[in-house]
Structure 1
Amino acid sequence: DAALSNYFRPGNLTALRELALLWVADRVDEYLKEYRNEHRVSRIWGSRERIVVGLTGGPEGRTLIRRAARLAEKGAGGEVLAVYISRSDGLTAASPKELTVQRTLVEDLGGTFHHVIGDDVPSALLAFARGVNATQIVLGVSRRKAWQYVFGPGVSATVARESGPDLDVHLVTHDEMGKGRGLPGAHGGRLERTRVVRGWLVGILGPVLLTLLLDLAAPEVGLANDMLLFLTLTVGAALLGGLWPALASAVFGSLLLNWFFTPPLHHFSIADPKNIVAIVIFVGVAVAVASVVDLAARRTHQAARLRAESEILSFLAGSVLRGETSLDALLDRVRETFAMESVALLEREDEVAPWTCAGSVGPAPVCRPEDAEVDMPVGDDMALALSGRVLPAEDRRVLAAFAAQAAVVLDRQRLQEEAGQAHALAEGNRIRTALLAAVSHDLRTPLAGIKAAVSSLRSDDVAWSEEDVAELLAAIEEGADRLDNLVGNLLDMSRLQTGTVQPLIRAIDLEEVVPMALSGLPDPEASVLLDIPQRLPMVSVDKGLLERAVANVVENAVKYSPATTRVLVAASAMADRVEIRVVDRGPGVPDEAKDRIFEPFQRYGDAPRGAGVGLGLAVARGFTEAIGGILTAEDTPGGGLTMVLSLRCVPGRAAPDA
């Protein structure tokens, strides 16, 4: 009644239902993921709503994350995965500070953040979405201005076109659309292919068009002005395409100047020495400008590359600080970051021993470092093996950091396992020590009484009366019963510790069990008040285990109750369960000790020596849980302790109406 009125309210029941649905969805999703990996299924199977948010590092990312979170809420337990794709050459326009803010936001909303490297952003985004079995992609409307669409359709349009029928793409409007992307944060030394092509066009076609224009429209401009115009084209080629287009433009421009504008015309010869000096200066200035631009591009590339690496390493360090120490999670992050098919952490005992897999993610992981496209050694006997594609040399430095962290995580997991084993050994030693203490005292006490009584009976020096003999025999019987009870509890605890308890569950009436459980007490009628209604439903239990559990609980209650007060053993039905309540009026147990009294070899308070080894309640709880019941302790109103033993009713036979 107290639980119905205080806990099982509509709000709590609704929350429990939602938790159960989420748990079932997670289990189904795990099985589906294993099946897809085993059978190498690449198509998307929408078992649940999984929404991927494509981030660029711009301020519009916060709007996209919140929109995706709302879509996930409508999808009854949907999952949000925010992904930021950076280029392998370090080109990025993202703000690290903004990415950090967005990562915190998506994690606060219950999602996950992922950092992936890919040169083709639409392809990398679609590959990530299909790899995680996503059902929807949320992207922002492009920030490019209208004239910038002449260079291509953009990421959003490309993803929408290539997503296929199994992926829904949402384009979300925001305040930043149409305002332009601004200048990128870094330019690599390995320039984009489109920029290099533009540089060659400016460096080769530009001088040709300029020559035609000057020869036909302005033949009298003068050689000095002609050189400045050609030098402008060379600088433009250097800014766009780098060193080689600029050098080609300088050489080709000098030849055109010599042929068309330097007397004698239409000959590769120069009559005036001043013109020779001018052309040499022109070529030197062009080469110098091209070299400076190329050097600046290389330095900028190095800075951008280091910036990209620092972002990845900061994410790795953040995962460590947040306690993400799972080896599988770390290997999965490696697979996502470097766009690999599978990742495995391999180890061996020595140089001649075979490799073994300590952990892996992805389908068909390799078993040897030699079989992988990329292997990163960690010491002499451990290696991180990646399959899928060959990584460039500059990526190996970041991969080395992941490999070192994977080795640390593996060592930490093993240390935790060893600590758990050490804890189990320590617990076993504690139980053995307590057992020895119990054997040395609690078992020896009834043995000493039995021996003394037997020795007295066998003595010829004393003539015992019939009353004395009866008293000595009663002492022997009482000591034997105590020994039997103690040894029985020890054997029961050993069965529970080794997991050899095999209950035989069948339908039982409580009237068949509870009176039998009280028969072991010295005077059950004087010490126990029994209240078992006749209309109680039958329960699904093991009769022998339930009898031992009830007997131990009642014996404990009688031991701590006042001699003038009887222990109440009452039963009642509630929903699909039956509760047996053992109520005593003893000193009671504080809340912080209620769980501790069910541990083996624990006796609360000032229990006298010889009162038992502290196994009764531990055995009772073990047997109760073995038959599918629950044993808890509550305070008795007015003082004392109430043990509540909750059992399952027989299916289809509910409790009668109150």
Structure 2
Amino acid sequence: MGRGKLRIHLGAAPGVGKTCTMLAEAHRRVERDTDCVVVSAETHGRPRTEALLTGMEQVPHRRLEHGGVTVAEMDPDAVLTRRPRVALVDELAHTNTPGSRNAKRRQDVEERVRETSGMESAALLERAGDVEPWNCAGRGRPVERPEDADVEVPVGDHMAPALTGRVPPAEDRRVLAAFAAQAAVVLDRRRPREQADRALAEGNRIRTALLADVSHDLRTPPAGIKAAVSSLRSEDVAWSDEDRAELLEGIEDGADRLDHLVGNLLDMSRLHTGTVTPLMRGTDLDEVVPRARGGVTEPTVVLNVPETLPMVDADPGLLERAMANVIENSVKYSPREERAPAAAGALADRVEVRVVDRGPGVPDEAKERIFAPFQRHGDAPRGSGVGLAVARGFTEAMGGTLNADDTLGGGLTMTPAPHAADARPEDGPDDRGRGLVTAQDERRTS
């Protein structure tokens, strides 16, 4: 049986010629010896429509009694028995008389299409692996699993056309399997292109975010530096030593902020291009963490990292950069007058530094997103949004981990955990102390 067609004539209003167009096409087909019958045609008393019906074979209607009135309706069974090459049906949106097999005439047509084509639906199912769920790559009126279909034609281990309806003969199934195999090839070839398109779109998104979010932060420190320098050079004002010191402090602070931002952007670029090569060696946290605290003023962060902590296997420079970003993030979100303690200590083969803030916290569904580049959660203070991405990237490059967890009582706890080095301090495990890092908000921005 050849592939059938369903042609529908649509019109914007009654009387625009839908029925006449359908009947005129039928006459042309009859002249070419095509077997055509009229199943339903509404003339509405129009002479031209009635003239076009002349000479056309019409399938008898069913007679139904409703409310004491005899009503003529389309007879799907008579159409299926007659099996014409072309069947003409008018008024597809017609509501059938109560008691009919289907509520709508279009459902009668769908029934004929299903019967003559031999199936009710077709779906091309695929899955990524033997234990993965089935996904529908293409469908008609679908099934969700191969076992729900009346006919399954396997194409490899991870793809299967699934059909419902009348079971086709073996020859047709072989043809279907051949077409399904071609469809599988097309899908396999299309998938890498779609992945490349998604990667390109993500790259464009990151570049857009870089321009939108970082441009402000790149302009702000130079603007402050320029204003302070212009003030100092002004000959109209006699600055006191105290004012001059304050302006110089502002210049230094702006330069530090700009250096920090540019450093993070360069580090992010290195991570994305895979050019970060850690130089691993035994490293003391009590040396690295104080240097990481250098970008925050002395009253803000109080450190207590005992010398008895085991050494960690890390690149000192990368570890310092990662710790600096984590501490700065804690400072940024901690309430102004409240200290947020954190503890550092050995745990199995790692040394954890738990840096805690008492800020608004982050919901579970957003905890991983804050480690992506150019991300800031909620009403976060302005910043480039790359600090935590750099911190995690450097930590993982050294074989460690950096995770975010809820703080008991509210807030967020960041836990960088580098591997402990093979070389241990001479102190026994019972002598290993626990360090303390506390952070208090200075409203600094990265």
TM-score, normalization by structure 1: 0.39
* Secondary structure of residue in 1 paired with 2:355: strand
CA-CA distance at 1:652 after TM superposition: 7.1
Report the equivalent of 1:638: 409
Which residue does the alignment assign to 2:309? 536
**1:494 correspondence with 2:331:** no
What letter is aligned with 1:423? R
Answer yes or no: is 1:428 the counterpart of 2:200: no
Q: Is the 8 A contact 2:311 2:423 kept in 1?
A: no
1:417 to 1:560, Cα distance in 2 relative to 1, 3 A: same
| Cα distance change of structure 1 residues 407 and 554 upon mapping to structure 2, 3 Å threshold | same
Residue 268 of structure 2 contacts residue 386 of structure 2 at CA under 8 Å; is this kept in 1?
Answer: yes
The alpha carbon displacement at 1:397 in A equals 7.6
Match of 1:593 among 366, 384, 406: 366
CA distance, structure 2, for counterparts of residue 574 and residue 475 of structure 1: 42
Q: Say if 1:529 and 1:569, in contact at 8 Å, map to a contact too.
A: no
Q: Which residue in the other structure is 2:397 paired with?
A: 626
Instruction: Give the counterpart of 2:388 among 617, 632, 650.
Output: 617
Question: Partner of 2:26 in structure 1?
Answer: none
1:650 to 415, 421, 440: 421
Match of 1:547 among 304, 320, 326: 320
- Give the distance between the partners of 2:403 and 2:416, measured in 1 at CA: 7
The percentage of aligned residue pairs carrying the same residue is: 62
Contact 2:271 2:393 in 1 (8 A): yes
Counterpart CA distance in 1 for 2:385 and 2:279 is 27
**1:471 corresponding residue in structure 2:** 246
TM-superposed CA distance for 1:442, in Å, is 1.3
Displacement of 1:531: 3.4
How far residue 398 of structure 1 moved from its aligned partner, in angstroms, is 6.5
The residue aligned with 2:153 is 316
Task: Give the superposition deviation at 1:467.
Answer: 2.3
Provide the residue aligned with 1:442 in structure 2: 217
Alignment of 1:109-148 (within 5 A): none
Residue 229 of structure 2 corresponds to residue 454 of structure 1? yes
Larger helix fraction of residues: 1
2-structure distance, mates of 1:571, 1:600: 27
In 2: Cα distance, 1:606 partner to 1:410 partner: 48
Gaps of 5+ in 2: 1-128, 132-149, 162-169, 432-446
1:132-190 CA deviation, whole Å, 9 max, x = no partner?
Answer: xxxxxxxxxxxxxxxxxxxxxxxxxxxxxxxxxxxxxxxxxxxxxxxxxxxxxxxxxxx
Structure 1 residue corresponding to 2:296, chosen from 510, 521, 526:
521
Deviations, residues 293-343 of structure 1 (Å, cap 9, x unaligned): xxxxxxxxxxxxxxxxxxxx94435x68xx9149xxx9xxxxxxxxxxxxx
Residue 484 of structure 1 corresponds to: 259
The code of the aligned residue for 1:316 comes to V
Alpha-carbon distance in structure 1 between the residues aligned to 2:194 and 2:249: 51
1:628 maps to a residue whose letter is G
Matches within 5 A, 1:83-94: none
Higher strand share: 2
| Number of aligned positions between the proteins | 275
The corresponding residue for 1:579 is 352
5 Å-filtered alignment, 1:116-265, equals none
Which amino acid is the alignment partner of residue 606 of structure 1?
Answer: D
Counterpart Cα distance in 2 of 1:463 and 1:528: 36
Secondary structure of 2:235's counterpart equals coil
- The 3-state SS of whatever aligns with 1:537 is coil
Residue identity opposite 1:563 in structure 2: R
Deviations along 1:421-477, whole A, 9 cap, x unmatched?
111111111111111113421111111111111222222333323222222211111
Structure showing greater radius of gyration is 1
CA contact (8 A) 2:404 2:412 kept: yes
For residue 614 of structure 1, what is the amino acid of its counterpart? Answer: G
Residues 484 and 315 of structure 1: is their aligned pair in 2 closer, same or farther, counting only changes over 3 Å?
Answer: same
Letter of the structure 2 residue corresponding to residue 421 of structure 1: A
Query: Deviation string for 1:182-215 (max 9, x for gaps)?
Result: xxxxxxxxxxxxxxxxxxxxxxxxxxxxxxxxxx
Post-superposition shift, 1:538? Answer: 1.8
SS of structure 1 residue aligned to 2:429: coil
Q: Counterpart of 2:393 in structure 1: which amino acid?
A: G
Q: Report if the CA contact (8 A) 2:340-2:356 is conserved.
A: yes
